[in-house]
Structures are given as structure tokens and as C-alpha cells.
A and B are shown apart, each in its own frame.
Chain A
């Protein structure tokens, strides 16, 4: 694969009920990403936006940010999905040879709608929706099965929440920097057994932008480019009952593709840090297994070992992860942006010392039906 780099990133502060409209948030990050890269809008020859019609309450939701994402004068497309898939689309557009520099902008305002209603619409209207399934209770079905099958405890899940909210204290963009204990998590309000309030990510507003460029363009900028070494995406089947919800095959397949492309054979040894899509605490443990950072069922022992803490050999979600800010669609893009900051050595108080290779991960649909994995290198 031709060398493609990420040369600019920007994020808004993530918060609930942000006073900014969709386009104001999108413009803020688009402009900041350009400034950070030392580029002007004329240097951008195409854009990719990531918006969702349900979350935004608007058909053709990408229209909302067409002007604000700099898409009015250059070819653009809209990936209605996680920001990681937006970057994949941007990457393919450059690799096709027809573009040099792609601006990717993702935004969402969870506070505009009612997440339970919006996530209910993920489920099959013919067979599933009438049961009142939504993002939280479907995750609870998955968590219960996964935990029961592999003997993962609620304490181990709680530890993920404690770690990530603590990490968020070092991230100025995070929404929920918290000093909490495992007991706080276990005693927080039960939403859908075994998921409690502090096992779940918040409702967030926010935007994120990333600029990709082919190698020849990177010479124009002063910032250290961060190279895309591998990428893979994959989906499981759709009906909840047809899936083995404790299985992580789709993630394994996406990761394998990304690792093969990047030449990574021993992920826990070769990867310095990971930013993964922990919409719920148990997910981080499951995704660790799917990404090959431990064996199947090893997620619990992995968090117990402290390896994934800041200062451990494989810090996971130094930013505080999605548990600390969950602007849907932008959330996966934020994983990439945070990984880039780490690899540039610009992650401030959340910097992982000596970070060389980072993994960024996004999910799509209910219970991680779809996954997208990026391997990035300084």
C-alpha cells in the first residue's frame, strides 16, 4: 500500500447539550484541523463527512455540515457510519490516485434526540423492534452472555470504568473525568442487568476532524506525519439471535486484515497503545480479546493485571475512551485523533511514553456487529 499519512486532527470539547449547532461544531474542528496542519482550505481536494439521519433528526443529514466541513467546493461523500469508516473511505479515495488530501469530519449531537428511540430503530422492525430493544438492553444481553461464558465478573467490568474515567482527567476534551471506585460503579443505578449507569457511556455532543494525505503532500507540512499502516473492517450477521453475541469473529477478522497489512504478528508486543470503542465497560474487555491482546476469555485477567492502565505495557484508552465521551460517529474518529496525538507525542498529560504504534478501533450497529480497526505508526 502506498504510504498515506494523517497530518491533522482536531476535536471539540465533548459535552452534553452543547450550545453549538451541528454546523458550528463541524466548522470548529475542520478549521482547527487545517490550522494545526498549517494548511488552508485550498490544500484540501476532497472531503468525507460522517453523519447519521436518525441521530440528527434529518434526512440527508450530511447537508447540515456541507458548508461547514468545506465540502461545498470539492468532491465529497458521506459515510453514514462510524468515523473510522469515514477515514477508510478517505484513504481509499487517495489510494485510487484521484485525490491527494482528504478532510474527514464527523459530528453528532446525542442530546438532540432520545437515544433509546434512535437505537431502537437499529433493530429489525419485523421481528425485534416491538420488544423494546435498544442500545443499552441489547448490550446487556451481550454482556450477560459474555460474562457468564467466560467467568468475567462485574468487578472486572467496573475496573474498566474506573480506569477510563480516571484517564479522562488527563484529557481536556473528555466529558466525564471522574474519580470513582469499583464500589461506586457496582453501586450505581442498575440500567439493564448487568449494566449499571457507570458501566455505560454518556450522551454527548461533539465533532472530530482528521486530515489524510498522500506522502508527497506531507513534505509541505511541518507536523510529524502519522502513517496508516493497516486497516480492516468486517461485519457479523444482523439478527441478534442469529449471532453468537459472545463471539468476536468480526473484530478478529477486521484486526487480522489490519495486522497483516501492517506486518504485525504479535499485537500486545508490537502495539504501544490502543484506543477502542468502549461504549460499555464490558466491551473493552471483549474487544481486547478480539484484537488479540489476550486469549478468548482473558479480558478479565487482562484488566486485573494492570497492563492496560497508564504506565502498563499496553495502555488502553488513555483518553478516557468512549465511556468518558460518546459523540456517536465522531467517537471512532476521536479514537484515531487521540492515537495520532499519542504518536506525535502531543498527548499532554495522557501521553504514553515512547508510543510508536497505536491501534484505533470503531464499531457499528448493535453489540459491535461491525468493526473497523486501524494500525497507525509514527
Chain B
């Protein structure tokens, strides 16, 4: 039977719009070295590696093989997991399954992207079915914008509601997170006066594209306890990746995949009242709109209650459920790393290592991943091996 598993180390680069002083493998090495240092380990202690990114963003085929130069993977077990925007969270889950299976004790999970090497939106567009959908998809921005137009229509939400999320995340990044890419405080007025890039979303509603890498180290129970006094225990994982055609997934004003993935993760972790039981959340919100429309999917508010929930301020740093102390995806989006950064940031919170962005006393953290055909991954981490 499987065994308890925890996160024992987290490392990430200082994300930027471009990092020309590193090639991709050197970028990975920075994150890996920081993760190893944070756990007091060396690369010799790593039993297996999982890596992920998107092939066409850097045009590298078989990245698992290429990436070994980023962690001296010579004579190590390595494999690659790629599921679109959910790649980072899927890599994290794969790291968890590696360790939980008992086949490997200490497992390194790596997500990375050097988006500055190509035209990210063009590469994203190629994820559409090439005969039916590719020509009219406006990239991830277009999908999110379409979804929010449907949400606005159904629940009367506004562009300003989405701007509030953008302001929250951008300000958190600016004030608290030295690793974030965009570190400038903005106001709702700033967001609303930025130009539309895909109606109803404006430039400052959206995430940037970033260069960066993240590494998270998972360990089985026995090893985890030896490595640190306070690991981040993985209590729950959930994942829902449905649909082949975007047409089947987008024209729905919520995020059914997130609802399903969080339900599975809550069940596994024993969470019955997510709003009360979760202390902090690191959510893959690629646009401010998602921070409004998807709140109900995790059970944080009632259906259509997103705007009211955000306006109440409970998700601010001093609120009852702080969301994205790191500044989230709207401040940093190195796509293949993004989902793993959410897991890493959530782990830092429950390990009490989140420094200036620490939510005091955080014990239970939620991390999500989003991508592909509007897919979701959910991870629940806890400072203890089980909920009280």
C-alpha cells in the first residue's frame, strides 16, 4: 500500500520577462540547487526526477532527455509529464505518486519555461484541433475571455470585479514576493484604463509570460522526517482533464473541472468545509476574471457569488482566506513551472518558510493548476500528516 508523502524542499528562480544569462538547462539548475539547499540535500540524494514544460514553447523534443544537464541526471531515472497549463501541477502530482508508490524515496519535480524564446500565444494556439479549431482560437487569453463573457452575462459580473483580483495579486507580488516577475502595485483604475486584448479582458487583467523554473522535492514519510522537522504533507490530490474540443469546455460560466478536482482532493484530505479549513490558497488564476468566476468551483462561495466574495476582502492578505500571497500567475507565468510554483508556494506556507508573504499560522494550504482544455489539478498540503 502507498505511504505518506511530503514536500521537503522548494526552489525557484527569480522570474523575469527574459533571462538571457542562462540557457534552459542552467535556468533549471538554479531552481534545483535552491530546492536542494533548502532541504539540505545534494543531487546524489535524489532517486528519481520528473520534469515538464511545453515542447513548442522552446521547440525542444524529448525535454526529459535534454533537461538532464540541468540537474546532472547522468544515470538517474527521469521522465516527462506534459499536460498543457496543468503541466506544473501534473509534474507535482507525478512527484507525489513516485514517492507515495514506495518505488523512490526522494523525488525531484521540475517545471520550467523560457517563454522569451518564442511567441507563446502562437505556440498555445497549436493546441487546438488543427482542422476544426486552430484558426479561430485566440490563445489562452481568448478562451478565458470567452468564458468570462459568458459569466458576466449569466451573473452580472463586471470587468471591475476581475480588476480587483488583478490588483490583489499584483500588489501581493510587489509587496511580498522577491521571486515574482511583475512587482508593481496597480489600482483598479490602472487595470480599467489598460487596453482590451480580448474583450472583456484588458492587458492588466492578464498574466505576463515569464522565464523561470521551479523545483520541488517530495519524500516518503520516513525520509521526509529525517530531512526536516516540518515538511508539507500531501493530504489530497485531485485532477480532472476532460474534453478534446475547446468548444466542449469553454462556453460554460464556471470551471466544472475545478469543481470535480477539488471535490476529489477534499475527500482524500478529509476537508468538509473548505472555506473554514483552508488557511491559504495558491491558485492558478491566469486572469483576474478567473479569480471571480472560479471561486464557487472550490466551494468558497455560492454559485454566481464570485463578485461579492472578492469584494468582501476575505481573500486579501489580512483576510480570512488569503489567496495568492505570492502574487500568483497574474504576476508570474513561466507556464510549465506555474502549476508547480503554486504547489511550492503552498508548501512554503505550511512549512512556515514563506518569509514576507507568510500567512501567519497557516496549516492547511490549497494549490491549483489550470490548463489544456480547461482542465484542473488540485493539491492540499498540511503542516501535519493528517488534519486535526
**Contact present between A and B (CB < 8 A):** yes
* A151→B78 CA distance, assembly (Å): 32
A-B pairs under 8 A by CB, number: 194
> Knowing A78-B81, A80-B81, A121-B61 touch, does A59 contact B126 (C-beta < 8 A)?
yes
* A121→B261 CA distance, assembly (Å): 35
* A97→B221 CA distance, assembly (Å): 14
> Does B160 touch A at the CB level, under 8 Å?
no
Q: Are B68 and A235 in contact (CB under 8 A)?
A: yes
A residues near B75, Cβ cutoff 8 Å = 234-236, 249-250, 253
Q: Are A60 and B74 in contact (CB under 8 A)?
A: no
Segment of A191-199, A303-311, A365-373 in the binding face: A365-373
The distance from the CB of A146 to the nearest CB of chain B, in whole angstroms, is: 19
Give chain B interface residues in 149-194, CB to chain A under 8 Å: none
Q: Are A59 and B55 in contact (CB under 8 A)?
A: yes
Q: Are A97 and B100 in contact (CB under 8 A)?
A: yes
Q: Are B268 and A122 in contact (CB under 8 A)?
A: no
> Knowing A53-B54, A62-B82, A95-B101 touch, does A119 contact B239 (C-beta < 8 A)?
no
Segment of B207-215, B240-248, B270-278, B320-328 in the binding face: B240-248
> Does B59 touch A at the CB level, under 8 Å?
yes
CB nearest to B241 among chain A residues: A76
> Does B354 touch A at the CB level, under 8 Å?
no
Q: Are B241 and A66 in contact (CB under 8 A)?
A: yes
Segment of A67-75, A159-167, A352-360 in the binding face: A67-75
> Does A318 touch B at the CB level, under 8 Å?
no
A residues near B34, Cβ cutoff 8 Å = none
Q: Are B242 and A235 in contact (CB under 8 A)?
A: no
> Does B102 touch A at the CB level, under 8 Å?
yes
> Does A91 touch B at the CB level, under 8 Å?
yes
> Does B123 touch A at the CB level, under 8 Å?
yes
CB nearest to B268 among chain A residues: A98
Q: Are A95 and B54 in contact (CB under 8 A)?
A: no
> Does B314 touch A at the CB level, under 8 Å?
no
Give chain B interface residues in 291-340, CB to chain A under 8 Å: none
> Knowing A59-B84, A59-B124, A63-B84 touch, does A91 contact B79 (C-beta < 8 A)?
no
A residues near B1, Cβ cutoff 8 Å = 2, 97
CB nearest to A78 among chain B residues: B83
A residues near B264, Cβ cutoff 8 Å = 75
> Does B363 touch A at the CB level, under 8 Å?
no
User: B66 is contacted by which of A85, A124, A233 (Cβ under 8 Å)?
Assistant: A124
> Does A1 touch B at the CB level, under 8 Å?
yes
Interface string of B348-388 (1 = CB under 8 A from A): 00000000000000000000000111000000000000000
Segment of B12-20, B38-46, B88-96, B223-231 in the binding face: B88-96
Q: Are A64 and B244 in contact (CB under 8 A)?
A: yes
* A320→B69 CA distance, assembly (Å): 35
- Residue of A60, A73, A233, A253 contacting most chain B CB atoms (<10 Å): A60
> Knowing A59-B55, A63-B244, A92-B97 touch, does A121 contact B82 (C-beta < 8 A)?
no
The distance from the CB of A67 to the nearest CB of chain B, in whole angstroms, is: 5
Q: Are A239 and B69 in contact (CB under 8 A)?
A: yes
* A337→B156 CA distance, assembly (Å): 54
Q: Are A235 and B73 in contact (CB under 8 A)?
A: yes
Q: Are B76 and A63 in contact (CB under 8 A)?
A: no
Q: Are A62 and B79 in contact (CB under 8 A)?
A: no
B residues near A250, Cβ cutoff 8 Å = 75
A residues near B37, Cβ cutoff 8 Å = none
> Does B98 touch A at the CB level, under 8 Å?
yes
* A71→B69 CA distance, assembly (Å): 33
Q: Are B244 and A365 in contact (CB under 8 A)?
A: no
CB nearest to A47 among chain B residues: B241
User: A58 is contacted by which of B65, B102, B126 (Cβ under 8 Å)?
Assistant: B126
Q: Are B102 and A1 in contact (CB under 8 A)?
A: yes
> Knowing A64-B244, A239-B69, A250-B75 touch, does A95 contact B56 (C-beta < 8 A)?
no
> Knowing A72-B243, A80-B55 touch, does A119 contact B61 (C-beta < 8 A)?
yes
Interface residues in chain A, defined as those with a beta carbon under 8 Å from any beta carbon in chain B: 1-2, 23, 52-54, 57-60, 62-68, 71-73, 75-81, 85, 88-89, 91-98, 118-119, 121-122, 124-126, 231-239, 249-250, 253-254, 257, 364-366, 369-370
Given pairs A235-B77, A237-B68, 13 additional interface contacts (CB within 8 A): A62-B84, A66-B242, A72-B243, A75-B264, A92-B98, A96-B101, A97-B3, A118-B61, A231-B103, A234-B76, A235-B75, A236-B75, A238-B65
What are some 12 contacts across the A-B interface (CB < 8 A)?
A1-B103, A60-B82, A65-B244, A66-B372, A71-B242, A75-B240, A78-B81, A88-B79, A95-B101, A97-B100, A98-B100, A237-B74
